[in-house]
Amino acid sequence: MKISVIMSTYNRPHYLERVIEGYMNQTCRDFEIVVADDGSTEETASVVKEAAGKSEIPILHVLHPDKGFRAAKIRNKAAAKSTAKYIIFTDDDCMPSRNFVLDHLSFLEEGYFIQGHRVLLGGKASKKFDFKSINIKRLLLLSLQREAINIHNFFRLPIPLIKKTRSLKGIRSCNMSLFRRDFLAVNGFNEDFEGWGKEDSELVARLYKFGIKRKDIKFRACCFHLHHDFFDRDRLDRNIEILQQSIRVDGYYCKNGVDQYPGSRQLL
């Protein structure tokens, strides 16, 4: 099964280049990358163009103008341009482990979306961290230096820890996957969300109402979060209210979603 990796980005070409390289060195090769660019400068476009020119893995660049934090909108646009029946959402600050795509593919299940986990890296470690840095010796050293938190998420135990729930706690679209048809069934991300926060939780709240459950996986599908400054959270209170309103109502199909973009109904 072919997979679309939708990677949101905004003016972090120094991270984006390394993260794309991490995907170019996956054990699974049957996927495409769709860079969902929330209005970056030309430097980001150059990184994507250069990577696409040397990659056997298809890389698309979906860009819209910079009008503030609009992650919901650009992810919808990227999803409409994607070509696969299964979607992995991630970000430009999340370095994938070598089996990241394969793990999402191996544990997909009808009626569920997958929530993966991450290792948090400090500012010093993040400056040069790439896919070659993902080894137990390096991570243990970074942990001792307090430059890596939650490194246990990287360990590949013989049997992964799988928990099936309907919880909104710990929802993060930097490491989440689902069937394209389920994403379209609820009309994707709600573009009423602008500014940082809660657009991923609101998507999941509607997926629950549609009948999709959460498959939380530890010790597989790990990514490594590269350190950066916090986003401006001046619209967080408004976004929390949109989330709460979505939880209160009965419907699961948002009005301001992915269906406004050509191509969004393909490959159902």
List the CATH number of the domain containing 141.
3.90.550.10
76: in domain: yes
- What one-letter code names the amino acid at 35? V
78: in domain: yes
- The pair phi, psi for residue 62, each rounded to 5°, is -115, 120
H or E segment at 59?
strand 59-63
- Quote the number of domains for the chain: 1
The residue segments making up the domain with residue 46 are 3-260
30: in domain: yes
Tell me which residue has tokens 């500014």. 195
Map residue 248 onto helix, strand or coil.
helix
Cα 91 to Cα 46: distance, rounded to the nearest angstrom: 18
Tell me which residue has tokens 């389920």. 182
268: in domain: no
Cα 58 to Cα 70: distance, rounded to the nearest angstrom: 25
Map residue 156 onto helix, strand or coil.
coil
User: Are the beta carbons of 90 and 175 closer than 8 angstroms?
Assistant: yes
144: in domain: yes
**pTM recorded for the entire structure:** 0.96
pLDDT, one tens digit for every residue, the chain (268 residues): 599 999 999 999 999 999 999 999 999 999 999 999 999 999 999 999 999 999 999 999 999 999 999 999 999 999 999 999 999 999 999 999 999 999 999 999 999 999 999 999 999 999 999 999 999 999 999 999 999 999 999 999 999 999 999 999 999 999 999 999 999 999 999 999 999 999 999 999 999 999 999 999 999 999 999 998 877 788 999 999 999 999 999 999 999 999 999 876 665 5
In 3D, which of 204, 50, 53, 48 has the Cα closest to residue 62?
48
